[in-house]
Every structure is written in structure tokens, then in C-alpha cells.
Amino acid sequence: MVPITHYLVLAAVLFMIGMFGVMVRRNALVVFMCVELMLNAANLTFLAFARQRGDDLGHVNAFFVIAVAAAEAAIGLAVVIAIFRSRGSVQIQDIRTMKH
Amino acid sequence: MNPDPLAPYLPMAVLLLLGGVLAVVISFLASFLGPKKPTLQKATTFEAGSESSGHARQRFAVKFYVVALLFIVFDVEAVFLYPWAVKFRDLGWFGYGEMAVFAATLVVGLAYVWKKGALDWET
Amino acid sequence: MTLPDVTFADFHPILPALILMLGGAVLLFAEVFLTPSAHHGPAHVSRAHQPIIALVFTAAAALVSGWLMFQPARAVFLGFAVLDPFSAFLSLTVCVGLGLSVLIAAGFLRHRKAERGEFYALMLFGAAGMSLLGVSNELVVLFINIEVLSVSTYALAAYLRRGPRPAEAAFKYFILGAFSSAVLLYGISLLYGATGTTQLSAMAPQMSAALAKTQGLVYLGLGLLLGGLAFKVAAVPFHMWTPDVYEGAPTPVTALMSAGVKAAAFAALVRVFLALGHNLDSHLLATLFAFLALATMVIGNLLAIPQRNVKRMLAYSSIAHAGYVLLGVASLFVSGGAPTGGVLGATPLATGGLTAALRQDAVRGILFYLLAYTVSAVGAFGVVSALERREEEDRGTAWDLDRFAGLVHRRPWWAVAMTAFMLSLGGIPPLVGFMGKLLIFKSAVDAGLVWLAVVGILASAAGAYYYLRVVVYMFMRPAPETGVLPERHGWTEAALLLSTAAVVVLGIAPGLISSWLSQAGKLFGQ
């Protein structure tokens, strides 16, 4: 049996990868995938703790997170398509019409 | 008892390692030892035996995305049916009613999508 | 296995949300089944009725919220949600913001020939999420409701897809919104690990044990939770997305974002940290919120000053207003044990601990401020939407101050209404914004945050500059010779009239809602 810390560390590493990915990656789709990675890191944490405690709640939460992530993926892809149609690129540096 | 909790996974690690090494060695040997006589036919992309057409990196019509998005949403909603099915007898009519409401909500969405024409492939 | 004991009474607190969702579904079906398609006849016949459908359902939800205000506070759905006057008042505020935004949208979409039922349906779905966020007493339910309102607003922000700006705003909003949601969720998962529950009422008694055992987990979880919510309310330093998103989104959507999304996120913030904050070092929480409030008030106001683009100025000003509300939140957490002479400048009251009555006053101040900001800001965005012209949007001059020059000679009533909104946002008596600021600053002073209240007053004095500049342009500058007279839209003018009435009446006679307000300070379990 793998101890729970391993799962938690894995989840934390996934979360950090996702977070840095959102900050440094330039392709909108990759940024979007990094966000999904963060959600899944949270999911893994839920499951690890649920297993440690022998508690169903964490498993139930994971289901809800999966459904929410799907809805978010659908709207996110739609927005990326809208971006692509309006400027023919999904690179973040091109998405900068407004002044800062 | 074995003190290391990861010990049962050792054979897996060995298998992964061996598999990786074997793959690298064989690919290397193949490119090193095999004869190379390229012809036009050999260089074209293999496409199930038929003539290949178009570029591999062409853009897809947006209607594929619409169908894919709808698929993701409706597919993932099914995830809630499984825990309900497992506990079906315990939850009884209350659970049935709740699931009926849930399914009805999805049907409303499906009816909207259908009537909106998002499922019409030709238009 | 025991079945959950759910009765119809459990559904009471979610009734406003259910009504709004039903309204959204009706609008969707009216759009696809009743609206004649382009091939069969004129499409505008039943589309003209869509805002009316939306308004009817919004009004019904508002009435039910008003009824809920006087129901005894209780937990429902096994403690996953609560019914309390606090959430009912929030629901009412959301309905007010939604109704005004729908009116603005009706004029806006008519002008752009972009009338479609989905726009109102998405607004109603989003508002349902906001209303549900107020009643959530469980962290995963809270997360789901944040997503319900966010997903609707992402879609609304991208609604006018033509032109690069809306797509860009929607994209930025989506990425940063999804990012902050993920941060929030990770925080929730860590808190679940530390306490073994995600239900706020069950989590609170576990906190001291969890703090003793896994302190790092609790603080990290709460920190991530706070970070995620701070993104949603646009508190400095999590505010970077606000100006671009507010500028790029369609103006009625910006109005809904600034009013509803912000109010709902603040309600969640107050509920979570009031429930979990008891066992934490309250000095830490108070200091944290005080610094958030300080940074948000000062930076929001300073960044708004140089803006000539009125829509962008209102975006920065919404950050500043989040700062004032955070000041109210900070005063909730000032309690005993604050070392004298510390950052907070403790007074006898602060060292004695904040009494329950004062805490209720602070909650009331926050709620009243959110309502005051809703009517003033949505009204201001209404004037902005009436004046903007689609042709200039891509050049970025659609919202320039010059568009307001001499407005009093062209559309005098609009100028008067805009003046009322600007003065109210600037906190000038006798308008509603002044009453809101008065309540917030009073509870801050009561809690011993005198120093911070002074900074807040100075910051709002600086803010008066950029609000008054709009008034000066409208009344003192000559109208451009060639300027086309802005078109009138009946719907938008109705929204302006209603907001102006609310800004003036609630400012002069806040006693009108005092019976509701005195109820609304009550949170379940507090």
C-alpha cells in the first residue's frame, strides 16, 4: 500500500506544474490544459484524503469536480474557438488589444 | 512483512525499464542495420491503403468541435448515474425521483441543443 | 443506510434560484420553439417579449427572497445549505442587479440587432448561481455555485463574438477565472484533509483539533481559499484581470459582473471566514483583511484617476469599492487579544472583543454597501451603454470622456442620472453611496480600525476627483458640433430611471429598508 503522503506530494507537484504552466505557457490551449491539471491535482488530494479516512465524501466531491471541469472545458474551448476566429491565432502574446 | 510500501511495485518498475530499453535498442538497431531504399511510394503517408489526400495539419470544420463539446458535457454527466446505480436499492423512490429530476434537466438541455440545430450535420 | 430526511421546507432557501433557473429554461425554449426562424418570418415578434419574461421571473425571485428574509434561520439539506436573512438579502441584491442589467441589455441588444433569448437565459442562470452561492454552507457546493455563475458569465462575456475585444475579454476572464477556481478547489481539498469534512458547520468545531495536528495544512488551505475568493471579488493584488475584462465585455454583462458576481463572492467570503475564523488567530485574520482592504482601496482609486475611458475608469473604481467592502470584512474579525499599539491601532473596544451586536452591524454595513454599489454602478454602466457606439468599439474611443461632453444639452435626463450615479459612487451625501460608506466606516471605527477608516476616507476623497470629472464634462464642456445624437432606448431609460430613484430614495431615506437590513445582519450559526 502506497502511503498517503506520496499521493499528496504527487498532487502538489501536479498543482505546481499547472500553476507555472498557466503563468509561463504561451499557447491558449496549453494554458487551458494546465488549469485542468490543477483541478485534477485537487481531485487527487480529495481522493487521497478520502482513502486515508475511509470516508465517501471525498469520492463524491471528485465526481462533482469532474462534471464541473467538463462544463468548464466546453465553455473554454468555445472561447478559444472564438479567439481563433477573430484573430487566427491562439498565442497569448497576440491576445493583447487593450492597453494595460 | 516488507517495510517498504513501494516494494510490490518493483516488478512493474523493472518491466517498465526493460520495455523502454528494449524499444530504444530495437529502434536503433533497425535504423542502423536495415537497408534504406526510399521510393516515392514508400515516402508517402500511409493512409489505410488508399491514396492520401490533403495535409495532415489541415483545419477541421468547426462543427466537429460543436459535437465534441456536446459529447463532453453529456458524457460526463453520466458519471452521476453510476453511484446512484450502485446504491439504487438503498435510495429507493427518493433516489429515483432525484435522478429523474437530474435526467429531466439533461433532457431539457438536449431538446434545446436539438431544436437549435447544433446536431444537424449538413447545415 | 439512512435516507436523507429532506422535506419541502428544505427547498425554501433555493427557491429564488429555482425560479431563476426555470426562467432561464423558459427563455431557452421560447428562443428555439416560439421564435420563427429566419426562413419563416420576422424574428423580432416574440424576441421583443424575452426581456419581459426575464423580468417577470426576476421579480418573482425577488419577491420570494423578500419573503425568505423573515423566515427563521435554519440549516437545510443536512447542513449543506442554510436559510438565513443574510442570504435572502444577498439574493434580493442579486435580483436588483439582474433586473437592471436585463433592462440595459434589452436596449443594448436592440440597438445592436443581436437580440437572442440565450443572453437573458445565461444572465438568469448566472444569477441563480449567485443566489445559491449565498446559501451554500458546504465548500464543494460553494465551488459548484461559483462555477455556475462563472461559466454563465464567461459565455456572456463572449456573447458578441464579432470583433476582437469581446473574445479577448472572455478569454482573459475565462483563464483567470478557471485558474482562481482551481486554486480555491485545491484549498478546499486541503481543508478537507485537515478536518475530514467540507461542511462549514461541521468544520468549525474541528478547527482547533486540526490546527493542533496539521497546522500547515489548515493555513495553506485557508490561504488558497482566500486567494481564490479574492480573485473573484477583484481585491488587490488579485485584480489584474478586472480592467480588461470589464472593458471588453458587453456593457450589460459588465454591469452584472460588477454587481452580482462581486456581491455573491463577498457573501461567500463573509460566510466562510466567519464560520472558520473563530478558532484562528483573529489578529492574523484582521490584519490580513485590513491589508487587503488598504491595498485595494488605495490602488483601485489611484489607478482610476488617469483613465479617460469611462468604462475602464468604472472598472478600476469597482476595485476601489471592493476595498471599502473589505474594510467592512476586516472589522468583522477584530476581536480580543489584539496587542495595543499594533498595526491596527487597538482601542478599548478592539481589545475587549467585538460584540455580537457590532458584528451584526458590520455585516449589515457590508450588505447595504453591496446594494448601494449595485444600484449606482449598474446605473452608471447603463449610461455608458446608452452612449457607446459599436463602430468605435475597436478603436477604443467608444467610452472616451469626450462622449460625455455637453451631454446635458443633448440628453439632459441622462446627464442628471449619471450625475446621481457618479456622486453616489463618490460617496457624496445625500445619495445611497454615502450611506453605504457611512455604515462601513462606522463599523470600522467601532472595531478599532480608526487608522484604516481614515485611509478609506482619504481614498474616497481622491476617488471623488475622477467621478466629478465626468460630471464636469457633462455640464461644463460644449457638446461636439458633429456629434450624432445618441439614440434613446426605452428599456435602458427605464433602468436609468429606476436606478436613479433607488440611489436618491435609499440615500435620503435608508429607513425604508431598515427592517430588512436589521434582519439581514443575522447569519446562520453566528
High-pLDDT (> 90) share of chain C, %: 54
Query: Which of A35, A80, A98 has its CB closest to that of C165?
Result: A98
For residue B60, give how far its alpha carbon lies from the nearest alpha carbon of chain A (Å): 12
Residue at C2 is within a domain: no
- Under an 8 A CB cutoff, do A99 and C182 touch? no
Measured CA to CA, the distance from residue A71 to residue B76 in angstroms comes to 9
For residue A43, give how far its alpha carbon lies from the nearest alpha carbon of chain C (Å): 8
Instruction: Tell me: cis bond preceding C237? Omega within 30 of 0 counts.
Output: yes
Q: Which residue of A has its CA nearest to C174?
A: A76
Q: Which residue of C has its CA nearest to A82?
A: C167
- Under an 8 A CB cutoff, do A1 and B6 touch? no
For residue B115, give how far its alpha carbon lies from the nearest alpha carbon of chain C (Å): 6
Query: Which of B90, B94, B116 has its CB closest to that of C32?
Result: B116
Interface size between B and C, measured as CB pairs under 8 A: 18
Measured CA to CA, the distance from residue C185 to residue C396 in angstroms comes to 36
**Cα dihedral C470→C474→C477→C482 (10° resolution):** 120
Mutate to test the interface with A, among B71, B72, B99 (most CBs of A within 10 A): B72
Structural domain containing residue C497: 8-520
**Subunits in contact with chain B (3 or more CB pairs closer than 8 Å):** A, C
Positions in chain B short of pLDDT 50? none
| Cell (9 digits) for C412 | 439632459
- Amino acid (1-letter code) at residue C473: Y
For residue C34, give how far its alpha carbon lies from the nearest alpha carbon of chain B (Å): 11
3-state secondary structure of A34: helix
Rounded to the nearest angstrom, the gap between the alpha carbon of residue C47 and the centroid of all alpha carbons in its chain is 28
- pLDDT at residue C466, as a whole number: 93
Cβ–Cβ contacts within 10 Å for residue C198, how many? 23
3-state secondary structure string, C39-88? CCCCCHHHHCCHHHHHHHHHHHHHHHHHHHCCCCCEEEHHHCEEECHHHH
Q: What is the domain count for chain A?
A: 1
Residue at C276 is within a domain: yes
Measured CA to CA, the distance from residue C297 to residue C447 in angstroms comes to 18
Measured CA to CA, the distance from residue C320 to residue C292 in angstroms comes to 11
Q: Which residue of A has its CA nearest to B72?
A: A70
Using an 8 Å CB-CB cutoff, list chain B residues near A73: 72
Note whether C193 and A4 are within 8 A (CB): no
- Under an 8 A CB cutoff, do A75 and C174 touch? yes
- Under an 8 A CB cutoff, do B79 and A3 touch? no
pLDDT band per the 50, 70, 90 thresholds, residue A4: confident
Structural domain containing residue B98: 62-116
Measured CA to CA, the distance from residue B14 to residue B24 in angstroms comes to 15
What CATH number is given to the structural domain containing A45?
1.10.287.3510
Residue at B107 is within a domain: yes
| Interface list for chain A against chain B, based on CB atoms closer than 8 Å | 1-3, 60, 63, 66-67, 69-71, 73-74, 77-78, 81
For residue B92, give how far its alpha carbon lies from the nearest alpha carbon of chain C (Å): 9
- pLDDT at residue C525, as a whole number: 73
What CATH number is given to the structural domain containing B89?
1.20.58.1610
Query: Which of B90, B92, B115 has its CB closest to that of C33?
Result: B115
Instruction: Tell me: cis bond preceding C430? Omega within 30 of 0 counts.
Output: yes
A40 pLDDT exceeds 80?
yes
Measured CA to CA, the distance from residue A84 to residue C401 in angstroms comes to 32
Please state at what angle helix A4-24 crosses helix A28-53, rounded to 10 degrees. Answer: 160
| Cell (9 digits) for C355 | 460584540
The sign one gets for the Cα dihedral C195, C198, C199, C201 is positive
Measured CA to CA, the distance from residue C496 to residue C104 in angstroms comes to 8
pLDDT band per the 50, 70, 90 thresholds, residue A54: confident
- pLDDT at residue C184, as a whole number: 96
Residue B69 and residue B32 share a domain: no
Residue at C318 is within a domain: yes
Interface size between A and B, measured as CB pairs under 8 A: 34
For A78, left (φ over 0), alpha (ψ -120 to 50), or beta? alpha
B113 touches C at CB < 8 Å: no
Query: Which of B91, B92, B108 has its CB closest to that of C25?
Result: B108
Portion 42-81 of A in contact with C at CB < 8 A: 42-43, 45-46, 48-49, 52-53, 55, 57-58, 61, 64-65, 68, 71-72, 75-76, 78-80
- Under an 8 A CB cutoff, do C25 and B115 touch? no
Rounded to the nearest angstrom, the gap between the alpha carbon of residue C312 and the centroid of all alpha carbons in its chain is 17
A2 pLDDT exceeds 50?
yes
Residue at B102 is within a domain: yes
Residue at A100 is within a domain: no
- pLDDT at residue C61, as a whole number: 96
In the predicted model, what is the mean pLDDT of residues A15-25? 92
- Under an 8 A CB cutoff, do A42 and C167 touch? no
Residue at C42 is within a domain: yes
Residue C77 half-sphere exposure toward CB, CA atoms < 13 A = 14
- Under an 8 A CB cutoff, do A79 and C186 touch? no
Of C246, C230, C264, C342, the residue nearest C92 (C-alpha): C264
Radius of gyration of chain C (CA): 22
Measured CA to CA, the distance from residue C113 to residue C131 in angstroms comes to 30
- pLDDT at residue C2, as a whole number: 58
Q: What is the domain count for chain B?
A: 2
- Under an 8 A CB cutoff, do B76 and A66 touch? yes
Q: Which residue of C has its CA nearest to A21?
A: C179
Query: Which of B6, B68, B76 has its CB closest to that of A2?
Result: B6
Measured CA to CA, the distance from residue C361 to residue C50 in angstroms comes to 40
Beta-bridge partner residues of A27: A91
Residue at C3 is within a domain: no
- CA angle, residues C413, C491, C98, in degrees to nearest 5: 110
Q: Which residue has the cell 438565513?
A: C84
| Cell (9 digits) for C119 | 443572453
**Subunits in contact with chain A (3 or more CB pairs closer than 8 Å):** B, C
Question: Cα–Cα distances in Å, from C69 out to A95, B77, C131, C286, C322?
Answer: 45, 34, 13, 29, 25
3-state secondary structure string, C393-406? HHHCCCCEHHHHCC
Cβ contacts of residue C53 below 8 Å, gap of 6+? C23, C26, C27, C30, C120
Q: What is the domain count for chain C?
A: 1
Positions in chain C short of pLDDT 70? 1-4, 35-46, 161-164, 335-354, 390-396, 481-485, 526
Q: Which residue of A has its CA nearest to B66?
A: A78
Got the DSSP string for C109-161? Answer: HHHHT---HHHHHHHHHHHHHHHHHHHB-BHHHHHHHHHHHHHHHHHHHTSS-
- Under an 8 A CB cutoff, do B5 and A2 touch? yes
Measured CA to CA, the distance from residue C288 to residue C332 in angstroms comes to 12
Residue at A99 is within a domain: no
- pLDDT at residue C10, as a whole number: 87
Portion 72-111 of B in contact with C at CB < 8 A: 87, 90-92, 94, 108, 111
Portion 26-55 of C in contact with B at CB < 8 A: 28-29, 32-33
Residue at A40 is within a domain: yes
- Under an 8 A CB cutoff, do A68 and C155 touch? no
Beta-bridge partner residues of C82: C75
Structural domain containing residue A43: 4-94
Using an 8 Å CB-CB cutoff, list chain C residues near B115: 32-33
Residue at B56 is within a domain: no
Note whether C8 and C18 are within 8 A (CB): no
Measured CA to CA, the distance from residue C145 to residue C133 in angstroms comes to 5
For residue B61, give how far its alpha carbon lies from the nearest alpha carbon of chain A (Å): 11
- pLDDT at residue C340, as a whole number: 39
A68 pLDDT exceeds 80?
yes
Residue B66 and residue B28 share a domain: no
